[in-house]
Chains A and B, each alone.
Chain A
Amino acid sequence: MSDLFYSNISELQAGLNNKTFTAVDLMQSVIERTEAVESEVNAFISRDIEDALKQAEASDKRRLAGASLGALDGIPVGIKDIMAVKGQPLRCASKMLESFVAPYDATCIEHLKASGAVIWGRLNMDEFAMGSSTENSAFSQTANPWNLDCIPGGSSGGSAASVAAGQTIVSIGTDTGGSIRQPAALCGVVGMKPTYGLASRYGLVAFASSLDQVGPFARTVKDAAILLESLVGYDPKDSTSLNRPKENYSKALEQPLRKLKLGVPSEFFGDGVDPEVKAAVEKAIDWYRSEGHTIVEISLPHSELCVPVYYIIATAEASSNLARFDGVRYSHRSSDAGNINELFNKSRGEGFGEEVKRRIILGTYVLSSGYYDAYYLRAQKVRSLIRNDFDQAFEQVDAILTPTTPTPAFKKGEKSDDPLSMYLSDIYTISVNLAGLPALSLPVGMTQEQLPIGMQIIGKAFGEADILSVAHAFESNHEFKDLRPNLDNSKQ
């Protein structure tokens, strides 16, 4: 039973159904593991152990009564600190919301609860999801479980690290420009951003509304598929949510993978990519070729414009989305404000961290009268071009393979003072958000220094089942899903 925390969902369901162990046993195992490694990993901002055990108990009761809610019933799911869970703190890793408790459940959380999942902990992140290293958290610095001196990626660094370290079975994060896929790649787990509109954004504290999307982290593709099934679905509370029939993603994995055309964009394999990353991804591509899939070289010509376009659109939306944190109602209020403008200015000055302020200022600037056309409007036009690039590519191919990140995990502090270089760590993931497409990151190799390497698989809109199948085929024939970071001073 000691390895429960590193088991996958199918194994756990079998054990729960056979009464080999209970959901409470499972939760205890996860809690013990978490306590044992948390001082090193720092994946959590807060965790409510009592509440998690209570949920696990309820799951056991359901199962005893023959009323199990399905594959996720009793499974601990870690939650990024950006999703509202009723009665739990919702801080977005910001001093601004240090004392805010969510009075309602995000729709995705409602779905998870309806699936019987045990909502577990508040996972660390970059403040308001702005960052690529989880170093922009006001509360703690999460480590990469594979090398504690390295960052776990971000912004969903806690979600990735906790899954890699066995502090939860699966977790959810959010992805605005790569915030699920990049940390998944750097922590050696599966992370997926669904098509924009597939999962509800209601209850996700908005960073950039037209780009944000919720998605799963897991140690296996199948676990990611199971979690995704529960997360997605039309939500009348989110006008950007799409009303589509639900798909059974995990079932789709049981089918043998048909022979596909897989696109490889030349722009993603240029000078900026680390040789070890490039080699591992090319090796994975070769494997697909050897399996009889057709590899097609394609071009996404506007790729180099993705980062500037992203930092205009995302910051513009963020500058407006974050305006509500003003010290008037629920957010941090400065104690030495003499009038209303001082209250706004000082509360925001004290409550927000540097990176958040930088992006708010940038976004305010690009929307300003006289600059709007040159920046925001132009960026929207380029966004259409980027979308067109993908549309054209998908006329030829079924999925696109790229490195998830240009480099493996970097050292803490290495890029903290160089925002531009930090921004470039999302260079391969951003275009997917701009185009609203689904993509996942799959572990496809390890560097010599034992740092994970991720490959990004991009699908057509609503091609979730396809990219999961593509990933599953590789995973089933490789050992990467079974690799564990060497954190086990608690257990060995």
Chain B
Amino acid sequence: MKYEVVIGLEIHVQLKTKTKMFSAAPYNYGAEPNTLTDPVVLGLPGTLPVLNYTAIEKCAELGLMLGCKIADVCKWDRKNYFYPDSPKNYQLTQNEQPLCVGGSIEIEMPGASRNIEGAHRWVELNRIHLEEDPGKLTHTAFDSLIDFNRAGVPLAEIVTEPNLYSSSEAVAFLNALRNLIIFSGISDCDMEKGQMRCDANVSLRPKGLETLGTRTEMKNLNSISNVKSAIEYEMKRQAEILDSGDKVIQETRRWDAAKNISLSLRSKEEAHDYRYFPDPDLMPVVMDKARIEVLNQMLPERPFDRQRRYQKDYDLPYTITSVLCANHQLSDFFEETLGLYNAPKAIANYLVNDLLRELASNSEQGASALSLSETKLKPQSIAELVEVVESGLISKQIAKEVFVEMFASGALPKSIIESKGLSQSNDSSEIEALCLEAIANNPKAVGQFKDGNIKAINALKGPVMKATQGKANPAILDELLQKLIESGE
């Protein structure tokens, strides 16, 4: 392609607060329509907004996580436009002075393969500001219905600089941002529930040119794969326009995920004049610098920092750390388990391999994998499992069986081993009798072993394991078989 794409993203994230930004009405996803409202949320005549300080703190925390400068004063503006999902026909937002300015986020580009770490780079942010979410419209064949439950939920709008240069970079950015926000506990960023939404500004320019081309803004991108598709669609559309010698029109476009196309929503000329002005109902809030410093000291670890720490301190490979640190629950679970039993590699292996497998296979048909919090598994379970394997109480083979049982019932490994009689047999005399039997029944394998084919010993181990239901200690068994074969010469 002879063009370079330049992408800027605007991401709306619902902050996890108990109540709305300007009223005491509660919010939770999925409630009966119009049950989470009050006169303020509905914009009834005479009502006034009252600031929820938690929303400011959470937004400031996000800003600190991203290295933004936190404004000295938190101010509010009215953005005026008529739309039926907006109870007051203006939105309280921060136009003139965002709470957080600048900042950047570390992203990881896709590697050459899934197992290979990709290059890291930093994406510059322009600003993060707070605003209130509007209600939600549902259009039926004859009616349009409004649910004001969502109205007034605090949103942080994160605006990047136009410095993403491919659709995959945009995806990498969104994954990194989403993961960082989830790590910080500020939002769950569940895009299916509308907790994170994205608009993309896309423009093309001839490769090598500094000046930006005419951009279009894509709205309604409610999954990361939509963002990728929409950007790629727009790149192709704009390239065709430019190739034909035409000019790209600055406009807002709506992504239709069902049809995989974007449609013009309104041109620059039809753009709203939002008539911003400072909201006279809310007083500017002077930010408490000491409090900001406290928040700064208490910031959670950023996911990539955690990943580097795991690689450095525990010598864990990228294939493990990339999985652990892409999942906040899993990573925290790892740390808790590690606190109980210090065996990072073994613990990480159980989590990344066995646990993730169980989570995937135990979910409903077609549904996404279970989340860790939906299971009965405790860090104590994994710690104990690693301990019993390392102490030789059970084999790794048996451990897999114990894991499945402990995932299903929530019981601790030792009680499973006891109730099922799974403990490893270290009784040499019993194993010796079985070994002799195996040697007698497999002269061929014995011969091969003697000829130097060490692997042939496995054919002898099999029957012993089968007879002991896998409980024979493999180390003892190995040693015993070799000794018996050699002494049998």
Would B275 and A364 count as touching, CB distance under 8 A? yes
Would A368 and B273 count as touching, CB distance under 8 A? yes
Would B46 and A106 count as touching, CB distance under 8 A? yes
Answer whether A323 and B90 are a contact pair too, CB < 8 Å, given A202-B48, A367-B275.
Answer: yes
**Cα distance A92–B144 in the bound complex, in angstroms:** 29
Answer whether A237 and B280 are a contact pair too, CB < 8 Å, given A103-B44, A369-B273, A369-B275.
Answer: no
Would A323 and B48 count as touching, CB distance under 8 A? no
Interface string of B21-58 (1 = CB under 8 A from A): 00000000000000000010011111111110000000
Would B280 and A209 count as touching, CB distance under 8 A? yes
Which residues of chain A from 284 to 331 have any CB-CB distance to chain B below 8 Å in the complex?
316-317, 319-320, 323-326, 328-330
Would B146 and A328 count as touching, CB distance under 8 A? yes
Would A324 and B88 count as touching, CB distance under 8 A? yes
Contacting residues, chain A, for B144 (C-beta < 8 A): 340
Which residue of B is nearest A206, CB measured?
Answer: B46
Looking at chain A's contact residues, the main secondary structure is: loop
Contacting residues, chain A, for B97 (C-beta < 8 A): none
Contacting residues, chain B, for A209 (C-beta < 8 A): 280-281
**Cα distance A324–B50 in the bound complex, in angstroms:** 18
Would B43 and A324 count as touching, CB distance under 8 A? yes
Looking at chain B's contact residues, the main secondary structure is: loop
**One of A205, A317, A369, A376 near B46 (C-beta < 8 A):** A205
Contacting residues, chain B, for A317 (C-beta < 8 A): 280
Contacting residues, chain A, for B43 (C-beta < 8 A): 324
Contacting residues, chain B, for A479 (C-beta < 8 A): none
Would A236 and B50 count as touching, CB distance under 8 A? yes
Would A320 and B80 count as touching, CB distance under 8 A? yes
Q: Is A201 an interface residue (CB 8 A)?
A: yes
Would A239 and B51 count as touching, CB distance under 8 A? yes
Interface string of A342-368 (1 = CB under 8 A from B): 001000000000000000000010011
Which residues of chain B from 70 to 99 have any CB-CB distance to chain A below 8 Å in the complex?
78, 80, 82, 84, 87-90
Contacting residues, chain A, for B39 (C-beta < 8 A): 103-104
Q: Within the complex, what minimum Cβ distance (angstroms) separates A10 from chain B?
A: 32
Would B277 and A323 count as touching, CB distance under 8 A? no
Answer whether A344 and B275 are a contact pair too, CB < 8 Å, given A202-B46, A323-B89.
Answer: no
Total contacts A to B, CB within 8 angstroms? Answer: 91
Q: Within the complex, what minimum Cβ distance (angstroms) separates A304 from chain B?
A: 24
Would B80 and A202 count as touching, CB distance under 8 A? no
Contacting residues, chain A, for B277 (C-beta < 8 A): 316, 320, 367, 372, 376
**Cα distance A92–B46 in the bound complex, in angstroms:** 11
Q: Is A240 an interface residue (CB 8 A)?
A: yes
Answer whether A210 and B280 are a contact pair too, CB < 8 Å, given A323-B89, A326-B89.
Answer: yes
Interface string of A88-110 (1 = CB under 8 A from B): 00101000010010111010000
- The number of chain B residues with a CB under 8 A from chain A is 29
The residue among B39, B47, B48, B49 with the most chain A CB atoms within 10 A of its own CB is B48
Interface string of B242-258 (1 = CB under 8 A from A): 00000000000000000
Contacting residues, chain B, for A341 (C-beta < 8 A): 82
Would B87 and A324 count as touching, CB distance under 8 A? yes
Contacting residues, chain B, for A83 (C-beta < 8 A): 46
Q: Is A454 an interface residue (CB 8 A)?
A: no
Contacting residues, chain B, for A236 (C-beta < 8 A): 50
Q: Is A154 an interface residue (CB 8 A)?
A: no
Q: Within the complex, what minimum Cβ distance (angstroms) separates A287 from chain B?
A: 39
Which residue of B is nearest A370, CB measured?
Answer: B273
Answer whether A239 and B275 are a contact pair too, CB < 8 Å, given A90-B46, A323-B80, A367-B80.
Answer: no
The residue among B45, B82, B144 with the most chain A CB atoms within 10 A of its own CB is B45
**Cα distance A320–B281 in the bound complex, in angstroms:** 12
Interface string of B266-289 (1 = CB under 8 A from A): 000000010111001111000000
Contacting residues, chain A, for B78 (C-beta < 8 A): 320
Would B48 and A238 count as touching, CB distance under 8 A? yes
**Cα distance A206–B45 in the bound complex, in angstroms:** 7
Q: Is A264 an interface residue (CB 8 A)?
A: no
Would A237 and B82 count as touching, CB distance under 8 A? no
Answer whether A344 and B282 are a contact pair too, CB < 8 Å, given A100-B45, A236-B50, A323-B90.
Answer: no
Q: Is A203 an interface residue (CB 8 A)?
A: yes
Contacting residues, chain A, for B282 (C-beta < 8 A): 239
**One of B44, B88, B89, B281 near A239 (C-beta < 8 A):** B281
Q: Within the complex, what minimum Cβ distance (angstroms) separates B250 from chain A?
A: 16
Would A239 and B42 count as touching, CB distance under 8 A? no
What are 29 contact pairs spanning A and B, CB under 8 A? A84-B45, A97-B45, A106-B46, A201-B48, A203-B46, A203-B47, A205-B45, A206-B45, A206-B46, A206-B281, A209-B280, A210-B280, A239-B48, A239-B51, A317-B280, A319-B275, A320-B80, A320-B90, A323-B89, A324-B43, A324-B88, A328-B146, A330-B44, A364-B275, A367-B277, A368-B273, A368-B275, A372-B276, A376-B277
Starting from the known contacts A92-B45, A102-B46, 14 additional A-B residue pairs (CB-CB under 8 Å) come to A83-B46, A84-B46, A106-B46, A203-B47, A205-B45, A209-B281, A239-B48, A239-B49, A319-B275, A320-B78, A325-B45, A340-B144, A344-B82, A367-B275
Q: B residues within 8 Å of A by Cβ?
A: 39, 42-51, 78, 80, 82, 84, 87-90, 144, 146, 273, 275-277, 280-283
Q: A residues within 8 Å of B by Cβ?
A: 83-84, 90, 92, 97, 100, 102-104, 106, 201-206, 208-210, 236-240, 316-317, 319-320, 323-326, 328-330, 340-341, 344, 364, 367-369, 372, 376
